[in-house]
Amino acid sequence: MEPTIQSGDYIFINKLEYAWKEPKRGDIIVAKPREKEFKVIKRILGLPGERFAIEDGEIIIREERLDVGVILEEVYLEDSFTSSQGITLIKLDPQEYFALGDNRKVSTDSRELGPIDKWQIKGKVFGVFSLKHFKYKGL
């Protein structure tokens, strides 16, 4: 999740955040991918029911199959190029989310692990504390 979350940083998560409301695009979450024993920290980009595509390094969100779509602006990234490895086109089911890491060149995310089920989202990251710089950053 670099540069947002650095190796060695401590994260603060709200485990009850999604008990009464739905995850939003741009939320940073902790989740357990399907059939895996580990948890990941990723940013939600694709929402339930959407058609999510990675084309020419850009993320495109479509509502319908023939929809031209909207290119997702990712101002939080230094290099917004997203490689087309793994899943590059998917129609998300009603309880699925597509989540990517901010360091797209080396991130193991929904492109390889598949969509994240809503019930596998463990919480929303709301803050990061860096011991290296002894600094708190709210998200």
126 against 83, higher pLDDT = 126
**DSSP single-letter state for residue 52:** E
Domains, the chain, ordered by start: 10-138 (2.10.109.10)
110, 119, 116, 74: which is closest to 89 by C-alpha?
A: 110
135, 136, 37, 57: which is closest to 100 by C-alpha?
A: 57
pLDDT at 104: 87
Residue 10 has pLDDT above 90, yes or no: yes
Q: What's the pLDDT tens digit per position in 17-61?
A: 999 999 999 999 999 999 999 999 999 999 999 999 999 889 999
92 against 67, higher pLDDT = 92
Would strands 51-55 and 89-91 be described as parallel, antiparallel, or unpaired? antiparallel
Summarize the chain as % helix, strand, coil (round to 5): 5, 35, 60
The secondary element (H helix, E strand) that includes residue 15 is none
pLDDT at 24: 97
**Taking the CA atoms of the chain, what radius of gyration do you get in angstroms?**
15
Residue 84 has pLDDT above 90, yes or no: no
Q: What's the pLDDT tens digit per position in 94-128?
A: 999 999 999 888 899 999 999 999 999 999 999 99
pTM over 0.85: yes
**DSSP single-letter state for residue 92:** P
